[in-house]
Amino acid sequence: MSQKNPSSLPSFISDALAYSLDMTRQNLTSLDNFPELAKDGKWLCSDDGFWTGGHWTGLLWLAYAHTGDSTIEHAARKWTRRLTPRQHDTTTHDLGFLFELSFLLGHKLTGDSSFKASAIQAARTLALRFNPKGKFFQAWGPLNGTPSERGRAIIDTMMNLDLLFWTTQETGEKKFAEMAITQAHTVLQRHVRSDWSTSHVTDFDPDTGEFIQQETAQGLSATSCWSRGQAWAVYGFAKCYRETGNATFLDAAHHLAEYCLHRLPPDRVPYWDYDSPFIPDDVRDSSAASILASASLLLATLDTANADCWHTEAMAMLESLWNSYGSRGTNEPCILLHGTRSKPEDSMDHGLIYGDYYFVEALTRLTKPELRL
Ligand code: GLY
């Protein structure tokens, strides 16, 4: 099997979806800026969208897909356009996160081709970060930054590759997909370890391309497995397989996901780092679970021999998130509680807009498989 019939889904899915749409409508009435992190009853916001503006526009576009409400469509268009200046942002690799869930999702749902130009420009800007010697995308900092900025790659970049594949399909220019495929092979070689855990960061000499070391920024250590990074890897490799048909990428997504399944706690929501020595007395990252749930549902459509396993695991994560991590009954404006942005920076146990987005995305994969998210 590759897809379940939406009418046979357990009732918590429609309850969770109704609650999520309600929260999105409420947030729409109160937000002036892009939400990122929810704590003490309010969102911490940015006016330019930080790396998470696409997750807010993504929630709006999914709300439109579920309701057909023209007021929500209007709002999704307005918030999407607010990200337009970021198409020229040369200081970050996160242009995939920003443009895929705003301009590309808007284009997919409305057919409006005026969304395309900014997404193509964002891909051209992202392509400037590709280091051909080291075969990686520079993650953070300006293009002319310090050697350590110019030589730093992170696992999260796997999520920024779909914009490049789409741009090649749209423009016919092969270089974007070639860079994406090269980056994915570099991640396999440099971030992924023999046990299928991943490092958050890898450092290279930016001028010779020589690999220096595995490191971390948001995980516990250079040798640990940061749970959100592992989820980004599963998701990114599944999408690379969908775009290329290269079985190496499907094999990677399968093994990276299997690593999680072996290490998830009984309630299927990971601690912030799989290797924390304080487990079970440490904080969770509900966003890692929602990303992994959505990625597992994608994998169920691709790894058809194991589709039932991926579907079952995703349902267990979603049910646990809904029953034990949902915000209902609190005054928090997010959908899910107990995310961890970065424990090393003392930022933990709060709501995260991307945790909310991938939760709703997973619910949408189940209820609207025809969207092929
Ligand atoms: N991409 C940044 C993060 O996952 O926190």
204 strand-pairing partners = 211
Rg (CA), the chain: 19
At 3 the pLDDT is 63
Q: Is 332 a pocket residue for ligand 1 (Cβ < 6 Å)?
A: no
Q: Is 218 a pocket residue for ligand 1 (Cβ < 6 Å)?
A: yes
Out of 44, 100, 152, 156, give the residue to mutate to test ligand 1, the one with the largest number of ligand atoms within 8 Å of its CB. Answer: 156
Interval between CA 265 and ligand 1 midpoint (Å): 22
Spatial CB neighbours of 155, under 8 Å, sequence gap ≥ 6? 187, 191, 198, 199, 200, 201, 226, 229, 230, 232, 233
Q: Is 200 a pocket residue for ligand 1 (Cβ < 6 Å)?
A: no
Residue 204 token pair? 């290279």
- Choosing from 22, 40, 89, 156, the catalytic residue is 156
At 1 the pLDDT is 43
Q: Is 285 a pocket residue for ligand 1 (Cβ < 6 Å)?
A: no
Q: What are phi and psi of 86, to 5 degrees?
A: -70, -15
- Ligand 1, atom 2, lies closest to the CA of 156
Interval between CA 309 and ligand 1 midpoint (Å): 27
Out of 232, 273, 350, give the residue to mutate to test ligand 1, the one with the largest number of ligand atoms within 8 Å of its CB. Answer: 232
Spatial CB neighbours of 113, under 8 Å, sequence gap ≥ 6? 107
Task: Kindly give the number of the ligand 1 atom that is closest to the alpha carbon of 229.
Answer: 4
Task: Kindly give the number of the ligand 1 atom that is closest to the alpha carbon of 154.
Answer: 1
Structure confidence by residue, pLDDT tens digits, 15-56: 999 999 999 999 999 999 999 999 999 999 999 999 999 999
Please indicate whether residue 94 is annotated as part of the active site: yes
Out of 51, 95, 161, give the residue to mutate to test ligand 1, the one with the largest number of ligand atoms within 8 Å of its CB. Answer: 51
- Ligand 1, atom 1, lies closest to the CA of 156
Interval between CA 247 and ligand 1 midpoint (Å): 27
Cβ distance 342 to 352 under 8 Å?
Answer: no
Q: Is 73 a pocket residue for ligand 1 (Cβ < 6 Å)?
A: no
Q: Is 156 a pocket residue for ligand 1 (Cβ < 6 Å)?
A: yes
Determine the distance from the C-alpha atom of residue 161 to the mean position of all C-alpha atoms in its chain, rounded to a whole number.
Answer: 11
Cβ distance 283 to 236 under 8 Å?
Answer: no
The CATH class for the domain spanning 6-371 reads mainly alpha
Task: Kindly give the number of the ligand 1 atom that is closest to the alpha carbon of 232.
Answer: 4
Closest to 251 (Cα-Cα) out of 239, 237, 261 = 237
Please indicate whether residue 156 is annotated as part of the active site: yes
Q: What is the 3-state secondary structure (H, E, C) of the chain?
A: CCCCCHHHCCHHHHHHHHHHHHHHHHHHHHCCCEEEEEECCEEEEECCCCCCHHHHHHHHHHHHHHHCCHHHHHHHHHHHHHCHHHHHCCCECCHHHHHHHHHHHHHHHHCCHHHHHHHHHHHHHHHCCEECCCCEECCECCCCCCHHHHCEEEHHHHHHCHHHHHHHHHHCCCHHHHHHHHHHHHHHHHCECCCCCECCEEEECCCCCCEEEEECCCCCCCCCCEHHHHHHHHHHHHHHHHHHCCHHHHHHHHHHHHHHHHHCCCCCCCECECCCCCCCCCCECHHHHHHHHHHHHHHHHHCHHHHHHHHHHHHHHHHHHHHHCECCCCCCCCCECCECCEHHHCECCEEEHHHHHHHHHHHHHHHCHHHCC
At 311 the pLDDT is 97
342 strand-pairing partners = 347
Interval between CA 360 and ligand 1 midpoint (Å): 18
Interval between CA 69 and ligand 1 midpoint (Å): 31
C-alpha angle 302-239-48 in degrees, rounded to nearest 5:
145
Residue 229 token pair? 């990074």
Ranges of residues in the chain with a pLDDT under 70 are 1-3
Rounded distance, CA 66 to CA 55, Å?
16
- Ligand 1, atom 5, lies closest to the CA of 341
Rounded distance, CA 264 to CA 83, Å?
36
Q: Is 228 a pocket residue for ligand 1 (Cβ < 6 Å)?
A: yes
Rounded distance, CA 13 to CA 19, Å?
10
Interval between CA 156 and ligand 1 midpoint (Å): 6
At 265 the pLDDT is 98
Residue 215 token pair? 């490191």
Interval between CA 94 and ligand 1 midpoint (Å): 9
